[in-house]
Amino acid sequence: MIDFSQLPTTDTYDYNLPEARIAFKPLEKRDTSRLLVYNQGIINHRNFSDLPELLPGDSRLFFNETKVVMARLHAMVPEKNRLIEVFCLEAPKGKSVEQVMQSKGAATFYCLVGGARYWKSGVLNIDVDQNGFQATLQLEMLRREEGKFLIGFSWQGDLTFAEILDAAGKVPLPPYIKRDVEDSDSSRYQTVYAKQNGSVAAPTAGLHFTPEVMEKVRERGIQMCPLVLHVGGGTFLPLKADSLEKHVMHAEEMVITSATIANVLGDAEKRVAVGTTSARFLETLYWLGVKCIEGGDCTYLEQWAPYTLPQNNTLKQSMEALQAHIGEGKLYAKTSMMIIPGYRFRVIDGLITNFHQPKSTLLMLVAAVVGDDWKRIYHEALNHDYRFLSYGDSNLYWVVR
């Protein structure tokens, strides 16, 4: 059991991030970003294109194949002559993100609504006219639940909800990128290997990969292992509470397959997660397996469950239990796991990630990987003019055990 009274306050994970250090646009070429490498207290400065030679040849690289949907919609409320923003957030209970994204003709989705006071009732229309496709997307507010709204969407034609969003919506750039969306964001705020529609934010560590880097990784004998975790808007929520115990972690959807479990169990000197989303997925896998062993719900990992569940199961035992539960199919699960300093990693040995916001859960995950040295790392990066946040530079961390 975790002793919250012994944990630092959220202010411990604060630092001064000048706006000039935030990358508001990506570099012209993805793999020309800089790469800060941290290993057992030693910091080196490299370029991301050097990554393949920095990984042991018999490693496994786990990357998130989720695809960002055009989740930001703008609709006019005629009676008020007001333009409001509808931000698609998460699937309703009982539905997976992928199921909703594949819906045709109608769908429901939880959304944030900017300017909700101007839209109390009625149906809003968004005219879609793009690349020869014309349609009207209708939005109806069904109900409000704890600050978010369940919106009903309907449209004519044979397009899926994901395709409708692509035509009607805009790239959901993070709120700290204070500029209008540009045409180039449609491709650059997306990994080159994105496949499965469902995220409202990019798994940004993957934005640095190019086909050339991926090919060099394979030439080194490193196995590239895909997984899917759909990133939710909660990833940008700061730590507002003064203690970690009071922070409510957002839930994100995972798609678990037998192939993923086999990749985790396969022989590898190092298992390296591309991004905090992949790290969260892989560590959640272990604990869902433990829940299977304990006879619990294997489809959801609660925020503090990793700190209260039995701690003595091996990775093999956990994965075999989860495999037995899944069988030959796939499992849609959700994780609210919060990785904080003091957590003992069960799956990953390394992490590729970007530089994160002050007082964020992502920064806490980094602190769990490298300990208090995160302060020295970030100080070094600021002094060496690294670019921060989603479109910024990257890091390679080896887990301190």
List pLDDT tens digits, range 267-323. 888 999 999 999 999 999 999 999 999 999 999 999 999 999 999 999 999 999 999
pLDDT at 110 > cutoff 90: yes
Share of residues in the chain with pLDDT > 90 (%): 80
pLDDT of residue 219: 96
pLDDT of residue 236: 65
pLDDT of residue 4: 73
pTM for this one?
0.94
CA separation for the pair 366, 205 (Å, rounded): 13
* Residues 6 or more apart whose Cβ sits within 8 Å of residue 17: 357, 358, 382, 388
pLDDT of residue 46: 98
Whether 43 and 54 have beta carbons less than 8 Å apart is answered as: no
Average pLDDT of the segment spanning 99-113: 94
Residue 1 confidence class, pLDDT cut points 50, 70, 90:
low
Average pLDDT of the segment spanning 51-69: 96
Residue 222, judged by CB atoms within 10 A of its CB (0-12, 13-18, 19+), counts as: buried
Average pLDDT of the segment spanning 133-153: 89
| pLDDT greater at residue 128 or residue 209 | 209
Residue 71 confidence class, pLDDT cut points 50, 70, 90:
very high
pLDDT at 240 > cutoff 80: no
Residue that is written with structure tokens 């639940």 in the block: 145
Question: So what's the architecture of 4-67+190-398 in CATH?
Answer: 3-Layer(aba) Sandwich (3.40)
For residue 220, the Cα-to-chain-centroid distance in whole angstroms is 27
pLDDT of residue 395: 97
pLDDT of residue 17: 97
| pLDDT greater at residue 199 or residue 245 | 199
pLDDT of residue 7: 78
In CATH, which superfamily holds the domain spanning 71-169? QueA-like (2.40.10.240)
Phi then psi dihedrals of residue 367, to 5 deg:
-65, -30
- Dmax over CA atoms of the chain, in Å, equals 63
Whether 207 and 26 have beta carbons less than 8 Å apart is answered as: yes
pLDDT in tens, 213-236: 999 999 999 999 999 999 987 766
Every domain of the chain and the residues it spans = 4-67+190-398, 71-169
Nearest to 213 by CA among 25, 396, 400, 346: 396
